[in-house]
């Protein structure tokens, strides 16, 4: 019976990693839809969100069922609780991806300065790197990698601030709605990476049983 329980935990983790993979795809596609002004791609990202939400909810339901029936303790308990917690982060990261896609829809009709698109793309690439590292840390219970996420997140925050400054410089000649959508998109990307850093903290707890607070990776500007 305990064997069945352990398989359930393993399957649950695999499903969470699968959701994480989808979140990475969403982030990538959403960023591309924004940079390329591709409204069809944006629509595709938006349409996929319900499915992602349902999968995240499924993780929570399943983990509640296991908790109620199997009395997990110690590392099993930490794993189960952490998976539910991580799924919740994934759901929010997916929502942020949708927000980026919506920004893509709003901005697609107008082409702004290339510098800004380059900046967003650079930011997207860095976010992608953080997400890949986060998912690998989760998959392999890699403490070192989990602890490195915060470091990987730093340049993303800088890029967000730089984006903000660039935009402020240009704003006089740019459409205000376009500009605010772009800055929000940059902000959403930055938030996605913050979630990944939080997941890193959760991974260290899952593995060690100790809560390690990493520094605040959020820039001063709040949405």
Partner 1 sequence: MMHVSADVREDTTRPRADKISVKDLDFYYGDFQALTGITVGIKERGVTAFIGPSGCGKSTFLRCFNRMNDLIPGTKVDGTILVDGEDIYAPGVDPVDLRRRVGMIFQQPNPFPMSIYDNVAFGPRLHGVTKKPELDEIVERSLERANLWKEVKEILPRGGLTLSGGQQQRLCIARVLAVEPDIMLMDEPCSAIDPTSVQKIEDLMDELKDRITIIIVTHNMQQAARVSDETAFFLQEKTGQPAEMVEFGRTAEIFTSPKDRRTEDYITGRFG
Does 75 sit near partner 1 (CB under 8 A)? Answer: yes
Rounded to a whole number of angstroms, the minimum distance from the CB of residue 213 to partner 1 is: 16
Q: Measured from the CB atom, is 164 or 205 closer to partner 1? A: 205
Residue 184, both tokens: 């929000």
Binding range to partner 1, per CB under 8 A, among 15-23, 75-83, 88-96, 146-154: 75-83
Rounded to a whole number of angstroms, the minimum distance from the CB of residue 210 to partner 1 is: 7
Does 77 sit near partner 1 (CB under 8 A)? Answer: yes
Does 61 sit near partner 1 (CB under 8 A)? Answer: no
Site for partner 1 in 149-208 (CB under 8 A): 208
Does 40 sit near partner 1 (CB under 8 A)? Answer: no
Does 18 sit near partner 1 (CB under 8 A)? Answer: no
Give the per-residue SS3 of 110-172.
CCCCHHHHHHHHHHHHHHHHHHHHHHHHHHHCCHHHHHHHHHHHHHHHHHHHHHHHHHHHHHH
Q: State the Cα–Cα distance between residues 189 and 178, nearest whole angstrom.
A: 17
Q: 68, 74, 172, 176: which one contacts partner 1 (CB under 8 A)?
A: 74
Does 71 sit near partner 1 (CB under 8 A)? Answer: yes
Q: Note whether 204 and 143 are within 8 A (CB).
A: yes
Does 209 sit near partner 1 (CB under 8 A)? Answer: yes
Does 63 sit near partner 1 (CB under 8 A)? Answer: no
Q: Which residues are at the interface with partner 1 (CB under 8 A)?
A: 2, 5, 71-78, 208-210
């Amino acid at each position: 019976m305990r064997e069945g329980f352990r398989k359930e935990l393993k399957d649950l983790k695999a499903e969470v990693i699968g959701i994480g993979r989808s979140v990475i795809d969403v982030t990538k596609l959403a960023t591309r839809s924004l940079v390329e002004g591709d409204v069809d791609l944006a629509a595709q990202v938006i349409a996929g969100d319900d499915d992602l939400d349902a999968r995240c909810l499924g993780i929570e339901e399943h983990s509640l069922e296991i908790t109620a029936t199997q009395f997990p303790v110690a590392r099993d308990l930490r794993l189960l609780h952490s998976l539910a917690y991580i799924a919740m982060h994934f759901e929010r990261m997916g929502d942020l991806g949708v927000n980026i896609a919506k920004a893509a829809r709003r901005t697609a009709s107008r082409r702004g300065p290339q510098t800004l698109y380059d900046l967003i793309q650079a930011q997207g690439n860095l976010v992608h790197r953080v997400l890949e590292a986060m998912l690998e840390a989760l998959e392999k219970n890699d403490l070192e990698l989990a602890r490195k996420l915060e470091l990987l997140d730093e340049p993303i925050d800088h890029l967000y601030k730089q984006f903000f400054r660039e935009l402020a410089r240009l704003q006089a000649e740019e459409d205000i709605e376009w500009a605010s959508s772009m800055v929000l998109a940059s902000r959403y990307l930055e938030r996605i990476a913050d979630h990944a850093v939080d997941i890193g903290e959760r991974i260290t707890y899952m593995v060690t049983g100790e809560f390690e607070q990493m520094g605040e990776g959020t820039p001063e500007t709040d949405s």
